[in-house]
Every structure is written in structure tokens, then in C-alpha cells.
Amino acid sequence: MKIIKYVLIFVGFGLIGTLLATFFAPKEHIVTHDVSINRPVEACWDATFNPTTITIWRDHLDSVETIEGKYDESGYSAHFVFIDKEQVSKPIYKLDSVQRLALAKSTILLNEKIQLDTRYEFAAIDSMNTRMHITTKLTPKGWLYKVMFSGSGNGLDAKRKTELDNLKKWLENQATNTATNL
């Protein structure tokens, strides 16, 4: 009888903890980054949104399968296919609200439960340098995902910073290779 009592107390505390975590967990995580890249705005824009180059700088991304639209128009939808062979579903990536070479918004939706919205702002510092301001918002939907992602703000910040560093290195390396080949 004592064992049942302790099990019920343990389960009760677990339920109370989950409820408290649901009420006090943040509804969303927002991170912002500023990056200066020694490349023209056009090159930065193309590397950021072109389906053939996204896989170069995004971690663990194997390919981008376009569903509808075209990259060079106002926006497109695609599936992200990751290197992980046990990937259960393909996140849907949408690029929209495009103001060419100035502003774009993208959304990544995973199983309709986790949404990652990113706003990219591009500004030319001069003819060969670009400043990018990136704001990323992670929004888990439903109490279970809210609890699961309650502490993910720091991880999102670190992951986004790593990806942007990869983008910057790749773009600046392209500039070096182009100059060397001339």
C-alpha cells in the first residue's frame, strides 16, 4: 500500500510540474543577429535563398525539394531533406513577403507543431559589403511542445549564429576564389 501511495505522489508531482511548466514556459523564443559580409547584396541574397546554395551553409541539410513557385520570383515553397536517414517528415520551407535585395520572410514548419519564422533584412554598406539583420522566432504549438522547447532559446541562438557564420565564411571564400582565378 505504501508503494502505491509513493507512486501516486510521484505521478501527482509530475502532473503539477508539467502544468506549471506549461503556464510559465515562454510562448516563443526570439533571437536576433547582425552580420557584416564582404560581398555585394546580390551575392548575399542569392546565397541565402537559392535552393542550390542553402544546403552549403545550413547544418545537416542534404537537399531542398521545391514544391511550388520559383526562386527568382516572389517566393517559393520547398521541403527540407536532412542528412539524418531516420528523418520522419520533411519540414516545409516557405519564402515569402519578398522585397528583392532588401527584405524577406521565411517560415519552416515541422509537423504543424513547430514553426520557425525568420525575417532577413539586407542593407548595402557599400558596393562590396552587406549588412544583414536576421530575426528568428521559434513558436512551439500545443502544451507538450511548449514544455519540450521551453529552454531552447540558447540553443536556437547558437544554431542560428553557427549557420550565419557558415554563410559568411562560404560567401567570403567565394570572393577569394574569384579573385584568385582572375
pLDDT of residue 182: 47
Assess contact for 93 and 78: CB atoms under 8 A: yes
Kindly indicate the confidence band of residue 125, based on its pLDDT and cuts at 50, 70 and 90.
very high
pLDDT tens string 71-86 = 766 778 888 888 776 6
State yes or no: pLDDT of 113 exceeds 70: yes
- Kindly give, in sequence order, each residue whose CB lies less than 8 Å from that of residue 39, ignoring residues fewer than 6 positions away: 128, 129, 130, 171, 172, 174, 175
Cα angle 40, 58, 71; round to 5: 60
Domains delineated in the chain = 27-181 (3.30.530.20)
Assess contact for 128 and 38: CB atoms under 8 A: yes
pTM of the predicted model, to two decimals?
0.80
State yes or no: pLDDT of 92 exceeds 90: no
pLDDT of residue 133: 96
